[in-house]
Structure 1
Amino acid sequence: MSKVKYYYDSENLAYRKIKTQKRRKFGVVILFILAAALFGFLSFIVLLNTPFFETPKDRLQAREIENLKLNYAILNKKMDQVNGALDAIEERDNNVYRVYFNKTAIPDSIRKAGFQGKNRYELLEGYNNSQLVINTTKRIDVMSKQLAIQSKSLDEILKLAAAKSEFLSAIPAIQPVRNENLKHMASGFGYRTDPFTKARKMHEGMDFTAKSGTPIYATGDGVVAKADNTASGYGNHIVIRHGFGYETLYAHLSKYNTRAGQRVKRGDIIGYVGSTGRSEAPHLHYEVLKDKKVVNPLNFYYGNISAVEYVAISQLANQENQSLD
């Protein structure tokens, strides 16, 4: 029951009842309803932002966040495994491959360096799990850089290996005449008696005695620089440039089996034994030059003779006898 209010009427000297206008009552009711609605809305907003009130959408997002955290943890474990494999490759690269080819090792300060200067991860900042995402992204970036450096290093090793293979193929590493075709080793490298002047002079190659027409083999890969008889005393002769400073000369041939400019491989037949030029009997005069200087061919026969054969040839070659040219 609502209270009845009165006021004093001074003209009539009496108390009279206060009558409330209906419009005012309606306004009060409307104001109360608006205030209640505003309070309820604000309370709802507050509840939405507290952990005590979760909507289905909030629960779904929470599960997704937990799944993302789990996936990042799994990704980091996989990166640990990849890092281990990459470290093993880098160790072999530094301590085996680069050592074999006499190349300086790549230090870890270069292989595993981060990225300096501008903040590359600014766009990932400001989120609840920013640090997790940033740390994982940094690891991926560093690994990508390591892989790029390792890839370049292996490219370099492949080039060095190809050059090494080319170098090994170019070295004059076999006898120019096979043992089964030899009569005997006539003369070796060093001072020998000249067959024409009988004076003692430097013999700059080795003489292999064989029948005329015996095949002569290229002792290493290379390009034929000469195949003619223009050099005094050598008669029909061939010069092969092998690269890496090596050249070989084959003199007194009966005929050629190659021409100038032709590329030959080790073991190819390039000509045949003869006695042209300044020669006393059918034989092959063979020279090896390194950087335009003659060297002892005996040091280059490791490709097709045994240790016993090498000892026998070296004993014959070192005898101071008469040369055949």
Structure 2
Amino acid sequence: MSKVKYYYDPDTLSYRKIEPKKSKKYRNLFLFLVGSALFGFLGLIILLNTRWVNTPKELSLEREVRNYELQYDILNRKMEQMEQVLGNIEERDNNIYRLYFEANPIPEEQRKAGFGGVNRYKSLEGFNNSEIIINATKRLDIIQKQMVIQSKSLDEIAKLAEEKEKLLASIPAIQPISNEDLTRMASGYGWRSDPFTKARKMHWGMDFTAPRGTPIYASGDGKVVRADNRSSGYGKHVRIDHDYGYISLYGHMSKYNVTVGQKVKRGDLIGFVGSTGRSEAPHLHYEIFKDGERINPINFYYGSLTAEEFENMLKFANQENQSLD
């Protein structure tokens, strides 16, 4: 209840009630409304700057931040999976592939090294989540570098595999005369009795006895470098360069089936058994050179003989009998 004010009227010697003017009422009401509005506006400003009340824009930004956090968590898990898969590939690369092909393993420090020099992540600094963004970017950069290194390693392995395949195909690894056509293995590598002088001398190859005209096959991939009778004692003979330091020689042929410069594959027909040159009877004299030195051909028949056949050949080859040339 509002207070009633009075004033003393000297004319009537009594107190009279003060009647407020209408304009003053309106002014007071206006001031009250303005004050209430200002107070409400200030209160709203204060509330909006607290954590209890958010604007629609802030709510939208909060949703975006939560979504970014979710996406970062998903990205983090994907990077972990990538690192596990890449680690497995790297382990097989070092311990299986490179080991098999006699290549040096790639050091762990080289695979997972960071990037030195200038600050690559300066543009990502200065934000609320800079540390998270920089760490994720560094992690991705390292994974990318690992993938590049692994890709180059696999390229190298592929090249080594191709070279290994070529090497295995080139090594003279089969018997130059088929077992079906072979009469006997007449003489092996080592000291033997010369058929003409009867003196004991070194026999640098293996003699395979077979009928005249029996097919002779290339024992490995290579290129024919000689097909002539100009080498003392060998008569008509063929030499094949297999690369990697290997050369095979086929002597005392009756005729050739190849020409100089021709490329041959293992098992190709290169000529026929004969008895040309310094020979006592039809047979094939077979030699293998490695880096210019004659070596025992018996160690190179893994591609065509069974274990039993090889054992029998070894027994005959070690007998100090008379050679045929």
Q: How would you bin the TM-score normalised by the shorter chain?
A: 0.7 to 0.9
Equivalent position SS for 2:180? helix
Equivalent position SS for 2:260? coil
Alignment of structure 1 residues 39-188 onto 2, 5 Å: 50-188=50-188
Equivalent position SS for 1:144? helix
Aligned to 1:301: 301
- CA drift of 1:57 comes to 2.2
What amino acid sits opposite 1:103 in the alignment? A
Further displaced range: 99-108 or 169-178: 99-108
What amino acid sits opposite 2:122 in the alignment? E
What amino acid sits opposite 1:150 in the alignment? Q
Aligned to 1:247: 247
- CA drift of 1:306 comes to 0.9
Aligned to 1:274: 274
What amino acid sits opposite 2:272 in the alignment? Y
Equivalent position SS for 1:237? strand
Equivalent position SS for 1:78? helix
Equivalent position SS for 2:216? strand
d(CA) in 2 for partners of 1:168, 1:111: 31
Further displaced range: 100-109 or 307-316: 100-109
- CA drift of 1:188 comes to 1.0
Q: Residue deviations 1:165-219, cap 9 Å, x none?
A: 1111111111000111011111111111211222221111111111111110100
d(CA) in 2 for partners of 1:139, 1:39: 53
- CA drift of 1:116 comes to 1.8
d(CA) in 1 for partners of 2:140, 2:162: 33
What amino acid sits opposite 2:200 in the alignment? R
d(CA) in 1 for partners of 2:46, 2:108: 53
d(CA) in 2 for partners of 1:146, 1:232: 60
**C-alpha spacing 1:39/1:122, structure 2 compared with 1 (3 Å):** farther
- CA drift of 1:117 comes to 2.2
d(CA) in 1 for partners of 2:106, 2:187: 51
Q: How many residues align?
A: 293
Aligned to 2:227: 227
- CA drift of 1:89 comes to 1.0
Segments of structure 1 that go 5 or more residues without pairing to the other structure are 1-32
State the identity %.
Answer: 62
- CA drift of 1:51 comes to 3.6
d(CA) in 2 for partners of 1:172, 1:226: 16
d(CA) in 2 for partners of 1:42, 1:219: 100
What amino acid sits opposite 2:141 in the alignment? D
Aligned to 1:30: none
**C-alpha spacing 1:46/1:106, structure 2 compared with 1 (3 Å):** farther
**C-alpha spacing 1:173/1:43, structure 2 compared with 1 (3 Å):** same
d(CA) in 1 for partners of 2:40, 2:244: 92
**C-alpha spacing 1:45/1:108, structure 2 compared with 1 (3 Å):** farther
d(CA) in 2 for partners of 1:240, 1:261: 9
- CA drift of 1:43 comes to 8.5
TM-score by length of 2: 0.84
Alignment of structure 1 residues 187-198 onto 2, 5 Å: 187-198=187-198
Aligned to 1:23: none
**C-alpha spacing 1:198/1:71, structure 2 compared with 1 (3 Å):** same
d(CA) in 1 for partners of 2:66, 2:123: 22
Further displaced range: 188-197 or 240-249: 188-197
**C-alpha spacing 1:90/1:249, structure 2 compared with 1 (3 Å):** same
d(CA) in 1 for partners of 2:40, 2:124: 37
d(CA) in 1 for partners of 2:121, 2:94: 32
d(CA) in 2 for partners of 1:40, 1:222: 99
d(CA) in 2 for partners of 1:38, 1:215: 115
What amino acid sits opposite 2:212 in the alignment? S
Q: Residue deviations 1:279-312, cap 9 Å, x none?
A: 1111111001111111111111111111111111
Equivalent position SS for 1:82? helix
d(CA) in 2 for partners of 1:46, 1:133: 33
Aligned to 1:292: 292
d(CA) in 2 for partners of 1:248, 1:229: 16
Alignment of structure 1 residues 253-272 onto 2, 5 Å: 253-272=253-272
